[in-house]
Amino acid sequence: MTSSYRWVIVAAGGLLGCVAIGAMFSLPVFLQPMAKETGWSVTGISTAMTFGFLAMALASMVWGSLSDRFGPRPVVLAGSVALAASLALASQAGSLVQFQLVFGVFVGAATAAMVAPMMACVTGWFDTQRSLAVSLVSAGMGMAPMTMAPLAAWLVTAYDWRTSMLIIAGIAAVTMIPASLLLRRPPALEQGNEAAMADEPQSDMTVKQAVRSPQFIVLMLANFFCCATHSGPIFHTVSYAVTCGIPMIAAVSIYSVEGLAGMFGRIGFGIMGDRFGAQRVLVLGLLAQAFGVLAYVFASQLGEFYAVAVMVGFIYAGVMPLYAVIVRENFPLRMMGTIIGGTAMAGSLGMSTGPLLGGLIYDRFDSYAWLYIGSWGMGIAAMLIAMTFRPFVKEERGLAAVEQGAP
């Protein structure tokens, strides 16, 4: 695992994630121009994003399982082609329903191909500095709001939304397809490396046993509540800031501050995970995230929003890559895509709850306070669930090896 090529995998994963996530999350930039040009409702266009999260959830485990079987290169390549084609088709949609189907379902499903397969691939290439490597790939995904979103905003000021989305489809094709060709299976999965496979965690475990294990269920539940914790605040904080009297342009900048802090959070938590253990850092991070989102209740001035955004962005972005590290430490490499895909599925479902619940809470109470209080409660639940995680006992692996070698 000392090969320098492992950092090529990290760089390719960061680029693929940045372009894919950025292309999907460019929809809010196109929202108003699309509504004005087509007459489609803002709610109807926004629903495509909800469909996208659900499609990501359903597709995550499928893409992950395919990467276990065929390797990351063909799976990510197929996802890259599908993403570019779906964006191109969405740019030509003739009706709202057609756009919701193509952008929401197809783009969302294709984007999922860049998450679980890439995380599984990266964890397999690293025995040391694993948390840092996974965090760097995640940091590439976190660059999307600071790269693809401004690009989309510039394009839509120079062209109509259809041309702009078509250009983004072209950018996705010319960057992602070559990057996907750089991917390789982890060395331990290459044919003839049976010794490395025998030394894997729970090497004799089947996929059926893995997905039924308490460890997998705990990680799924923790990730669901973790993402449900920050989903509402991510989607509704700009609107909340506007209700506090902050101008829209200044309110939008809160997201930029949160995204920038997240870049440092991913790297910082990655380093801490390598030094102190991924599970320990995850539990503490989930506790800090819960109180971080609660702090929004007490923010009313722009400076206060910035301060909370720095804290929340640093924490929530930092904890997310740690799930993949914990999976790698406890499950065989040959099923990494499936298991990481399962946790990603749970996270996407958690993300889908925030926009809807936040809107319902505001419509009911004419206030966002209960959104942040509820998010705090879900954050505490995530932390308590993560505390119940018990790694597989290492002695069991040695005993299994002895039994297998017994005459």
pLDDT digits (tens, 9 = 90+) for 144-195: 767 787 788 788 888 888 999 999 999 999 999 999 999 888 877 665 454 4
* Cβ proximity of 300 and 244 under 8 Å: yes
Q: In sequence order, what are the residues at sequence separation of 6 or more whose Cβ sits closer than 8 angstroms to the Cβ of residue 394?
A: none
- 406 in any annotated domain: no
- 55 in any annotated domain: yes
**Residue 267 sits in the same domain as residue 381:** yes
pLDDT at 203: 64
Q: In sequence order, what are the residues at sequence separation of 6 or more whose Cβ sits closer than 8 angstroms to the Cβ of residue 157?
A: none
Length of the chain: 407
Helix (H) or strand (E) holding 209: helix 207-212
List the domain range (segments joined by +) for residue 348.
200-389
- 347 in any annotated domain: yes
Q: For residue range 328-340, what is the model confidence (pLDDT) as tens digits? A: 888 887 788 888 8
| pTM (predicted TM-score) | 0.75
**Residue 132 sits in the same domain as residue 207:** no
Helix (H) or strand (E) holding 150: helix 144-158
**Residue 156 sits in the same domain as residue 213:** no
pLDDT at 233: 86
Number of structural domains found in the chain: 2
* Cβ proximity of 51 and 106 under 8 Å: no
- 403 in any annotated domain: no
Q: In sequence order, what are the residues at sequence separation of 6 or more whose Cβ sits closer than 8 angstroms to the Cβ of residue 43?
A: none
pLDDT at 26: 80
- 160 in any annotated domain: yes
- 98 in any annotated domain: yes
pLDDT tens, N- to C-terminus, the chain (407 residues): 446 888 888 888 889 988 998 888 787 777 778 888 888 876 777 778 778 888 888 888 888 888 888 888 999 999 999 999 999 999 998 898 999 899 988 999 999 888 888 888 888 777 777 777 877 887 777 777 677 877 887 888 888 889 999 999 999 999 999 999 998 888 776 654 544 455 555 667 888 888 899 999 999 999 999 999 998 888 778 778 888 888 867 777 787 788 788 888 888 888 888 888 888 999 999 999 999 999 999 999 999 999 999 999 999 888 988 888 888 888 887 788 888 888 888 988 888 787 777 777 877 888 889 989 999 999 999 999 999 999 887 644 444 444 444 44
How far is the C-alpha of 249 from the C-alpha of 253, rounded, in Å?
A: 7
DSSP 3-state of 26: coil
Q: For residue range 271-292, what is the model confidence (pLDDT) as tens digits? A: 888 888 888 999 999 999 999 9
CATH of the domain at 67: 1.20.1250.20
**Residue 251 sits in the same domain as residue 268:** yes
* Domain final position from 198, 213, 245: 198
- 397 in any annotated domain: no
